[in-house]
Structure 1
Amino acid sequence: MFKRSTPILASLNRAETIAFYTEKLGFHFTTENNGYLIFEREDIHIHLFPCSDPAECRNMGCYLYVTDIEQLYAHYQTLGIVHPNGLLKLMPWGLRQFAVVDNNGNIIYIADDRPALKAEV
């Protein structure tokens, strides 16, 4: 029944958010409505709402499921955006994932849920 999900995260700075999502994560900026930003990359959409108080807009995050996680991980490492505590690894629940924290403090887990061998990273 369910087909798709669109995360809605906080944006503390319009210009920095647009730069991060387009230049670092490789998304296309598609729409803005009163500070509400919409980005897309392939079949993934991310929305960000304007927030002026970091204390009110914290602890937000999402999972993005991808293929070729190793290639994306290597690319994001060269850009220096992989979180130091979120390196690529196989999680106990079976996902291979890594983490990026955007310019607003939102954590974005990037995961490949295909079956992986325990020895894989």
Structure 2
Amino acid sequence: MFKRSTPILASFNEAQTIAFYTQQLGFAFCTNNNGYLIFERDGINVHLFRCNDPEAGRNMGCYIYVTDIETLYREYQALNLIHPNGPLQMMPWGLRQFAVVDNNGNIFYFADDKPVDEAGA
């Protein structure tokens, strides 16, 4: 029944968010509708809403499931984007994942959900 999901996260500064998502995370900027930002990469959309209250935007994040996680990890590692507590690793719940925090404090977990025997962990 379900086909896809789109995270809607907080943005505290439009210009900085656009720069971070396009120049650092490699997303294409699609639109700015009065502070509501939309980005896309490989068919995955991320939306961000204008938020002026840091408390209202706390603790936001999402999982993005990817293929070829090693390549993406190296791409973000070269840009020094990997969260200090989020290196690529096999998690007890069966996902190989790593974490990146954007310029607004939103956390992204990039995960490869292949079975352990296929993922080579």
- Specify if TM > 0.5: yes
Structure 2: state its 5+ residue gaps. Answer: none
Comparing 2-11 with 109-118, which one deviates more in the overlay?
A: 109-118
Compute the displacement of 1:119 (Å).
6.8
Alignment of 1:22-37 (within 5 A): 22-37=22-37
Partner residue in 1 for 2:46: 46
Structure 1: state its 5+ residue gaps. Answer: none
Per-residue deviation, residues 10-51 of structure 1 (Å, max 9, x unmatched): 000101100111111100000111100000011100000000
Compute the displacement of 1:67 (Å).
0.4
Normalising by structure 2, report the TM-score.
0.96
Secondary structure of the equivalent of 1:72? Answer: helix
Does residue 4 in structure 1 map to residue 4 in structure 2? yes
Partner residue in 2 for 1:111: 111
Secondary structure of the equivalent of 2:108? Answer: strand
**Distance in 2 between the 1:22 and 1:65 partners?**
19
RMSD, aligned CA: 1.2
Partner residue in 2 for 1:91: 91
Per-residue deviation, residues 93-117 of structure 1 (Å, max 9, x unmatched): 1000000000000000000000124
Comparing 108-117 with 61-70, which one deviates more in the overlay?
A: 108-117
Count of equivalent residues: 120
Normalising by structure 1, report the TM-score.
0.96
Identity %: 70
